[in-house]
A = this chain, B = another copy of it.
Amino acid sequence: MNTEKRNYHHGGLREALIEAAVLILEEEGIPKMSLRSIARAAGVSQAAPYSHFANKDALLIEVAAYGFSQFSYALEKPKAMSGDPKGLIEHLVTLGVVYVNFAMENKALFQLMFGDALSEISKSESYLKEGQRAYDCIDKAVRHLKDEGAATVAAWSMVHGLATLMVDQKIDFTNDVEKQVRSILQFLNLK
């Protein structure tokens, strides 16, 4: 395993570094995800990443963008089944459950995605694109119930607040995420 050092000279190190970073991120946590440990995991020297990224942040921004692409994919999967109000509310609950489950199953990645450690992240095309996809998903679901920008922000804040409080261990860990999401969304009134 350790000895099958692939030949990254044939163009693949950039992606391999991102993959290695994602692995270390979820398996060892943010503090252990150093640029040097990522390079080690990819089987290259400590300075090699600088051939593909301006600095550590630039690599982490790509990791965050990858996270948003996975996140958006998960949010786009469940399709609204019926057009009646009850079905629309049920769809919103489903999105909330997907949101919180993603956060709990990818804690460190979620923190990287939504934290503000990466000062240049808003200059990344892929981050903006994948992030917008996720936002559009929530926005569309909310606007079917209440076509107002503030309503989206309200729903998003509520679900995101629960997700962060759970990930950051400020709220009792509940295995039953759906029950938890349902219990707060009952207090969201989209008239």
B154–A184 touching, CB < 8 Å: yes
The reply to whether the CB of A22 lies closer than 8 angstroms to some CB of chain B is: no
Query: What is the size, in residues, of chain A's interface with B at 8 Å between Cβ atoms?
Result: 36
The distance in angstroms between the C-alpha atoms of A22 and B48, with both chains bound, is 37
The distance in angstroms between the C-alpha atoms of A188 and B155, with both chains bound, is 9
The reply to whether the CB of A171 lies closer than 8 angstroms to some CB of chain B is: yes
The reply to whether the CB of A126 lies closer than 8 angstroms to some CB of chain B is: no
Chain B residues, Cβ within 8 Å of A186:
150, 154
A154–B116 touching, CB < 8 Å: no
The reply to whether the CB of A153 lies closer than 8 angstroms to some CB of chain B is: yes
The reply to whether the CB of A36 lies closer than 8 angstroms to some CB of chain B is: no
B188–A154 touching, CB < 8 Å: yes
Chain B residues, Cβ within 8 Å of A188:
154, 187-189
Chain B residues, Cβ within 8 Å of A151:
187
Closest Cβ of chain B to A125, distance in Å, is 17
The distance in angstroms between the C-alpha atoms of A46 and B189, with both chains bound, is 54
Given contacts A188-B188, A189-B189, contact A156 B150 (CB under 8 A): no
Chain B residues, Cβ within 8 Å of A114:
164-165, 168, 170
The reply to whether the CB of A160 lies closer than 8 angstroms to some CB of chain B is: yes
The distance in angstroms between the C-alpha atoms of A145 and B155, with both chains bound, is 20
List 16 additional A-B contacts (Cβ < 8 Å) besides A116-B169, A157-B159, A188-B189: A31-B117, A114-B168, A114-B170, A116-B167, A146-B187, A150-B186, A150-B187, A153-B162, A153-B183, A153-B184, A154-B158, A154-B184, A155-B187, A160-B161, A160-B164, A189-B189
